[in-house]
Amino acid sequence: MSAIPVPRLALPRAGIFRRFASQEALLALAVIGLAIAVGFVNPRFLAYRNLADILLGNAYIAIAAIGMSMVIISGNIDISVGALIGVLATVSGSLAVAGAPTLVAWIVPVVLGVLVMAAQGAVVAYLRIPAIVVTLGMMSILKGGLISVTGGKWITDLPQGFHLADLNLLGVPMPVAIMVVATALAALWMRYSASGRAIYATGGNAEAARLCGVNPQRTVVMVFALHGFFAGIATLVYATQLRVIQSTTPPGLELTVITAAVVGGVSILGGVGTVVGATLAAILIAEITSALVFVNISPYWTDSLRGGLILATVIADIVRRRRRASRGRRI
């Protein structure tokens, strides 16, 4: 690194225990543990069909949660993603029905997602308006606009080739394949790329990041643009599963996506978290929802449980930070 060469001494790496005590490991254990526990009560829960349905029906949430994780890690939040997915689904379906080439119907929503989110990111970064305000405004614009433009009409008679989600990739249903590939690529990028590191630095301490030559504004715009990209991909997985696209936004979708990110270990204060955790948390939440049916608990409890989960995670995060802070100097 510098003018004075220093012999490389082996400093210890993080202990095995700490690696396993990570949020991702806990979530993976929870996903498996819950499946086994519910399987004891009702073996039908473990039927291939049911497990596949859980994954297929919720892969798009996991994909959207990837982008959401990046946004929250960068120290921001987005609550417009649910409305955006609704709009993009309608755009995609309308294009397909209007006879546009299938590829166009698939690509346009992704491009549109990137543009809308990048624009929001630019407002957040350069006009210094809190992301919650900007995205709240965008959420209303998108929701209202969607209803006004479509008049609430459903899109039917989608052409055959439109249904991307019905395809298989090497024997794996497309939604799951996309979810796994997207999560893996995003995880590698977040961990090993300079830009990924810039996201953590911006969320952890924007001022320090700036002094180190990271451009926090550009980073925020990039994060939002990526979030828009993943929202576009999520839309594809979501919309091409449907035979009928309702011109409304899936209710509470943004909250489910945010919950997945936060339960996945992304700190709501920024700077900490992984996309793998978010994907696992999305699967866990879907699993819980399904499990309620199988153990005969009213599905109306889903929202409350989800709320409990998010509060428990956030409180655990804050408590952990406090303890760390009060422990002060360790060395």
Nearer Cβ to another protein, position 160 or 326?
326
Q: Shortest gap between Cβ of 209 and another protein (angstroms)?
A: 7
Q: Shortest gap between Cβ of 17 and another protein (angstroms)?
A: 13
In the block, tokens 């009560």 appear at 41
Q: Shortest gap between Cβ of 38 and another protein (angstroms)?
A: 36
| 3-state SS class at 325 | helix
* Residues forming a β-bridge with 168: 173
Q: Shortest gap between Cβ of 266 and another protein (angstroms)?
A: 12
Write out the two tokens for 318: 């804050």
Residue 195 and residue 189 in contact, taking contact as beta carbons nearer than 8 Å = yes
Q: Which residues fall within 8 angstroms of residue 262, CB to CB, at 6 or more apart?
A: 72, 268, 281, 310, 313, 314
Nearer Cβ to another protein, position 98 or 325?
325
Nearer Cβ to another protein, position 3 or 127?
3
Q: Shortest gap between Cβ of 239 and another protein (angstroms)?
A: 31
Q: Shortest gap between Cβ of 122 and another protein (angstroms)?
A: 18
Nearer Cβ to another protein, position 142 or 272?
272
Q: Residue numbers of the site for another protein (CB under 8 A)? A: 1-4, 6, 8-9, 11-14, 192-195, 197-198, 200-201, 204-205, 207-215, 267, 271-272, 324-331
Q: Shortest gap between Cβ of 24 and another protein (angstroms)?
A: 16
Nearer Cβ to another protein, position 4 or 170?
4
Nearer Cβ to another protein, position 92 or 267?
267
CA dist 46 and 38 (Å) reads 8
CA dist 50 and 31 (Å) reads 14
Residue 278 and residue 79 in contact, taking contact as beta carbons nearer than 8 Å = no
35-44 contacts at long range (C-beta below 8 A, 24 or more positions apart): 35/287, 38/291, 38/294, 38/295, 41/294, 41/295, 42/294, 42/295, 44/294
Nearer Cβ to another protein, position 163 or 218?
218
| 3-state SS class at 169 | strand
Distances (CA, A) of 78 to 36, 165, 177, 190, 195: 34, 26, 26, 19, 20
Nearer Cβ to another protein, position 138 or 272?
272
Q: Shortest gap between Cβ of 170 and another protein (angstroms)?
A: 26
The vertex-234 CA angle with 229 and 238, nearest 5°, equals 150
Q: What one-letter code names the amino acid at 96?
A: A
